[in-house]
Amino acid sequence: MAMSGLLEGKLAIVLGIANRWSLAYAIAQAFSREGATLVLTYLGEHQKEAVESLAEGLNVARIVPCDVTSEEELAALTESLFSLGRPLDAVVHSLAFANREDLGKPFVETGRHGFLVAQEVSAYSLVAVARAAAPAMTVGGSIMTLTYLGSNRVVPNYNVMGVAKAALEASVRYLASDLGPGKIRVNAISAGPVKTASARAIKDFSTVLETVAERAPLRRNTDPAEVGDAAVFLASDLSRGVTGNVLFVDSGMQVMGL
């Protein structure tokens, strides 16, 4: 659904594209459709070729490496953004990770290492990316991340990731306060469950999809393109007064009780 070039002239970086089924890719497609110029990142040489292939057909200015657990690569990211010679307008943080074994057992059995890994990659990385990107956002702009309802409700088998997403959402609010004076907005999109590669790591994920389709007000699951369109709104000037918020794109599932 084209929206008349809402992002024309804007520069955006999208972190977290893994394959063409990922929400980050749906967002990149929507941004490119609306006229944005993109910077994409990849994790390690093994992922570089896949991201380069996905970039075909998109309005991509540069593809750069970025391991968000590496201070050196985050510093290099800042330099790369500056070298483009234009302000950065939008940041899409679509990164999360937890050890598979920590998603398949009761939360109380989560080990210290697994807990910290999930927090570092899924929550702290937003703080690190915001710190790396903000200096290039010289005229303000929008930073957004992806979250899920399991941040504030118990979703079976989501476990340590749900706790990490809770920390991520709290980080959104504190970053919104810190970066607001620089006209940088920080928000999260809480997408409904989608068949992505990472979702397959969640035990009985198909049951979650079936439950949402039966109980959500719209009686269906989330379309990745809907998440992309919501991200366009948050990156555009239409959302100039919106910050520190969680925008639900989940067919209304968040309003349901039992």
Number of neighbours of residue 83 by Cβ within 10 angstroms: 9
| Residue 256 burial (C-beta neighbours within 10 Å; 0-12, 13-18, 19+) | middle
Catalytic residue among 25, 124, 158, 174: 158
Distance, CA of 207 to chain centre = 24
| Active-site pick, 42, 124, 148, 174 | 148
**Tokens 């469950």 appear where?**
193
Look-up of token digits 């309802």: 149
Tokens of residue 136, six digits: 């290039």
C-alpha span between 224 and 229 (Å, rounded): 9
Local structure of 127: helix, strand or coil: helix
Give the residue carrying structure tokens 């990211």: 77
Catalytic residue check, 148: yes
Place of tokens 């990107």: 133
DSSP 17: -
Structure tokens at 227: 């998440």
Q: Map tokens 């990142």 to a residue.
A: 41
C-alpha 158, offset from chain centre: 17
Q: Which residues are catalytic?
A: 148, 158
